[in-house]
Amino acid sequence: DAGVIQSPRHEVTEMGQEVTLRCKPISGHNSLFWYRQTMMRGLELLIYFNNNVPIDDSGMPEDRFSAKMPNASFSTLKIQPSEPRDSAVYFCASSKKTGRQAAYEQYFGPGTRLTVT
Amino acid sequence: GESVGLHLPTLSVQEGDNSIINCAYSNSASDYFIWYKQESGKGPQFIIDIRSNMDKRQGQRVTVLLNKTVKHLSLQIAATQPGDSAVYFCAEVGGSQGNLIFGKGTKLSVKP
């Protein structure tokens, strides 16, 4: 099993540009999570999908952030327009389980390091 | 690799010694806790979990202790090895959807 796949691994962009981060969950998993990791705030949940449907997006910072999951094997996190304070490592995680049990068993991808200048 | 924090609490131990990493959690209603290990350039990796109806759980070389009275978790690593060098996070499961709430992390450095 390849595990959770994220691309790109590194992204450097200028303020104001659109950024799209991609995630392929583990095959057969039903839940997908996007997290952001910064020095100041640590690891924070941004949004959570269950069977491709967004369940909880309360962690999405503002309207500049959007996430989609068009099918069970692909999700995107988009930032438009990007700002320097969006610089962070963004992780995608997936779980075979749904609902509360999804928290018990999450597999994380390697992350995308985003730098906005 | 990915930098997960330049200002994390750091624990430095000698190879072969035991390590104890501590964590305070926030929600007294949390009923499930997980320890994760994050190596440089990688995502968090599950180590061990514990439910709130338990005080102690043992794995291979690792033990988690839970003190609900003071909302404190600890991770004990026996015979620490260089490969244990990483940042360790505790996480609590909260809310009806079971969101993972991560602590700030502790960086473990193992000296050969």
Q: How does DSSP assign A35-72, residue by residue?
A: EEEETTTEEEEEEEEETTEEEE-TT--STTEEEEEEET
Closest to A80 (Cα-Cα) out of A13, A24, A9: A13
Q: Once rounded to an integer, what is the mean pLDDT over residues B33-60?
A: 95
Higher per-residue confidence, A62 vs B82: B82
Q: Mean pLDDT over residues A60-70, rounded?
A: 94
CA atoms within 13 A of residue A18's CA, in its CB half-sphere? 6
Average confidence (pLDDT) over A12-39: 96
Contact B2 A111 (CB under 8 A): yes
pLDDT class for B3, splitting at 50, 70, 90? Answer: very low
Percent of chain B whose pLDDT exceeds 90: 75
What pLDDT sits at residue B1? 34
DSSP-derived secondary structure letter, B57: E
Beta bridge partners of A33: A48, A93
* CB spacing of B100 vs A37 below 8 angstroms: no
- State chain B's mean pLDDT as an integer: 90
Provide the pLDDT for residue B95: 66
Q: Report the pLDDT value the prediction gives residue B107, as an integer from 0 to 100.
A: 96
What would the pLDDT profile of A20-31 be if each residue is shown by its tens digit? 999 999 999 999
Pair B74, B64: CB distance under 8 Å: yes
Flag whether pLDDT at B43 surpasses 50: yes
**Which chain A residue is nearest to residue B93, measuring alpha carbons?**
A103
Q: Which of B34, B44, B98 sits opposite A99 (nearest CB)?
A: B98
E strands, chain B, in order = 10-14, 19-24, 32-38, 45-51, 56-58, 62-67, 72-77, 86-94, 99-102, 106-111
Inter-chain touch B97–A105, beta carbons under 8 Å: no
Helix (H, G, I), strand (E, B) or coil at A84: helix
Instruction: Say yes or no to pLDDT of B7 above 90.
Output: no
pLDDT for A82-101, tens place per residue? Answer: 999 999 999 999 999 888 88
Q: Which of B34, B43, B98 sits opposite A100 (nearest CB)?
A: B98
Chain A residues in contact with B44 by the CB 8 A cut-off are 43, 91, 108
